[in-house]
Structure formats: structure tokens, C-alpha cells
Structure 1
């Protein structure tokens, strides 16, 4: 069946890839990547629906679970782990699962992606519920591990989304929603870590970022729930406070400490000239949205 997938076809523009100059290879790869944004643009309405699924899960104390094999699985893990420092989420809230487990992050685990039962078992292991949203990722759209996971998620009525890079992908049958990113044949035949992987990463970034905006993790275009786990993030937190409120660095630093290093709390304290406890109450009553908290 692989010869039927566009992600496995030869790219007519790169038949002589091994004879190209380095600059020509790079120029061709850059030109080919233009198809990525076109493919995503065609799927924006479906991506919007996926975001709505995720926001609904978050609002019901559910989780976002990415699941995939190989490059696709690694991309899900990458997006998941970055949500913690960026949006201050609990590591359980957004998770990435990969066929073969943690070992497969670094090296291929033979046969793991071909095991549909393994996909089901991995979701059972994290105690998937009907409040969760599962996003299955596979460039080919036919990976048994991911299909097995989606089938199980459907059986317990969790929301399901499939992300593939082929039209009418087998996997699309098993998602409440199917996002098909048709990026075409790769520069290097079958190497879906290229255009297919790029399109998947962009879409995962879109889903997680828009979902976090939708639950109050962003004010204006600032991260206001970031975790200041290092010096860079501490300084970014203070700059965000300065930009939003117009105070100087010393004032931002003082409120950063008074707010127990919680950026959104510091912002509300400054803008409403209120105590820490009152700012926390305002944010709780506005479900974490700074804009609503300062309007009350």
C-alpha cells in the first residue's frame, strides 16, 4: 500500500538530488517547504474544531494526549513538554505518547508502530477518560499503533483527532475529526521528517497555543502563566509585567516577588492596585482570564 501514498512517491523535482550542489539542494528544499503552509491553510477549519475539542477537555479537567510513532510521536512529545514552562501547565495536562515508550524517543523500537494493541494499552496505562482529547499523529495515516489508540479512545467516548499527510488516510476513519495535510512527495523519497514533519509540528503548535489562549493562559500576546524555572524565564516574566502595566524594572521585580512569581497575579495587583489575595480572588472568579479579572 505504500506506493499509493503521496508521502512515499518520488518527487520529480529532485530525481538528481545526489548530483545537485549544496546550494541547489537547500534552495529546492526551501521551495518545497512552501507547500507546507498551503496544505495547512486548507485545513484551518478542521484545526479550529480540534482546538475547540481541546478547550472543552481542559474546561472539564480533561487532558490533551498526543500519540504517534517515530517522528510523529517525537513531535507530539516535543509540543507536550514545552507546554509546561510556556503555559505553567501540570505535566499531566498535555502528554505525548510514542510507540515503544521513552526509548523510542532516541532510537527506533522494532515492531512497536505495527502493534495496534500497544496503542490501546498505552492509553489504558494513563487511564484515559471521556473528558480527554486524543490526537493521533502519523504522516502515512496508516500506522497500526495510532489506529489502535484511536479505536480505544472512541470506545470510551474521548474526543479523537487524526493528523496525517495523505488524502483519504486510513486513520481518518477513526477520528471524530480528520486533519489531512497533503504536503506531497518529499525531497528525499519517503523521508517524512521533512515536509510532513514540518506541517505536523506547525499544526501541533497551533492547537496547543490556541487552546491555551482559550483557557486564559495568555493576556494580549504575552505568556502570563509561564513557569520561571531559569534566569531567562525570570527575566521574561518581569519584562512581561513591565510591558503590560507600564511600570519600571524595579517595580516589576518587586511585584514579581510579592505575587510569588506569578506573572498574571502581579499584573492584576498592579493594574487594580490590590493585594495578592484580592488578585487571586479576581483571577479565580474570571477563570484565569486577566482581561476579565481587571474589568471587574
Structure 2
């Protein structure tokens, strides 16, 4: 039985609806949290191998905000985009088209891999008044403190792509390997929260459509970062970074901030690459302040 989310009592207060939209010749499945008449709408993009559930703990602390959260193409309930490699150009085009169709004018939010996609789309012209990046990828993954781990991951995904179909799929969905990935990222010592994080990864980390889209997305995630997009983003930008992030060190996040014409950096201590699971309240508080929202909707 799945572990109960420690954020479920808060999330239960927020109405949620599932929808589908035609985007780039394919179907995008998305969820809308909050009231349709909310004063502020966010468009949130999840990270690599995840899907929309991952950002729900942050949403749980934003009960007076409308949040639109799609599953990225090839992950969760959204099938791959027909006839296209799932590279950064495709994901940026998809997000731009999805925003125009479903959430025009929304504030764009990206977590981890979603930060790369969101930044590239906004730099390429996606209209948004502000940009928020949580655990932004501010440096090449191969150069981070877990560079050796990343190189092992490169080999893992390469082998998964080369093996015969069923063997490759089995390797890429292997629960023991997923648990190793989860253990490498989690920082909290709270046992209940650790169990919840591991359960989230066990439940959703293998919800990708097939190994081809997973390979494309992984190559995209380790071949790109936010730095290339930052100088072309004129909108006010909030970077929410973790002091103990093993994927992008906090020093790299500080340098990333300087590349934006107008960015501020919030540093959250005691957490790594899982701010959305381990410190969602702190992330939500930073978002509220950045958007000029009162504390009345903070739970």
C-alpha cells in the first residue's frame, strides 16, 4: 500500500480536475489545482522521470493559487509527441504551444529538468510575466559533485537503450535501481518523509512511455542546463536552490543568478535536489513573496 503523503491533508482542501489538450499533434494530459477564479495562475513543469504528482507538495501550500500541471510528453499519462525526437527544442516548443492553448499569461515554474525546459521556452519567446525555477540545473550534470554518479547513469541509460526490447525496459524500470537513485537524492532524516519520498519514486519514476523517449530525455537533461537561456530571459526570475544539492552545487547557482538580467536567488538549507518533497513549504513561501501574495493562503 502506498505511503500516505504528509501533505495530503493540505492537498485535500484544493479542488483538482484532469483535462486533455491537443498539442503539437499529440495529446497532453494535465491537471488544474485550485479555483478557476484565482487571481494568480502558475504553469508548473516537473523533472526528469517524474510526472505531475511530484510538485503536489508545493501546490498543497498554495491553496489560493490556480496551478496548471501537465505530464511532460512521454511521461505519466502524456504520450510521446508523434514524429519528433524528445530533445530540448521539442520540449520547449511543446511548452510554448501548451501555454498558449491552456494557460496563456501564466507564471511559468520549472523544477530540475523542468527548469531547463521552462528556461529554454521563455528564452525562445514563451510569454510569461515571471519565471520561477526550483532546483535549477545551473551547471553541467557531469561537472557536479556527483559527476561520477552521473557518468554511471549515462552508462545505465545507454545499456538500457541497446539491450533487446524487454530486457532494456526491465533494466530501466528496475525497482532496486530506482531506489538507489532515490537514496542518492534524499537528505531528510525524518523516517516517515523518507518513506514517502521513496514511495513516490517507486510509484512514478517508471511511468515513462518507452525507453526511446527516456533515452532522449536523459540525453537532453545531461547535455543542457539553464545557463544558455539565462541571458535571454528579461522577465523577473526567482531561483529556489538547495544548499546541499549534489546535482548543481550552490556555488554554481550563485553564478547562475548573475547570468540573468533580473533574478533573485533563495537558498534553502538542509535539503538537496528534492526541495519539492522535503521543503515544499519553504519553496511555496518564497513563491508567494516573489508574486506579491499575502500569507493568508499559506498553510
TM-score, reference length from structure 2: 0.36
* Higher-RCO chain (CA-CA 8 Å, sequence separation at least 6): 2
Higher helix share: 1
Structure number with greater Rg is 1
TM-score by length of 1: 0.36
Structure with more of its chain in strand, by fraction: 2
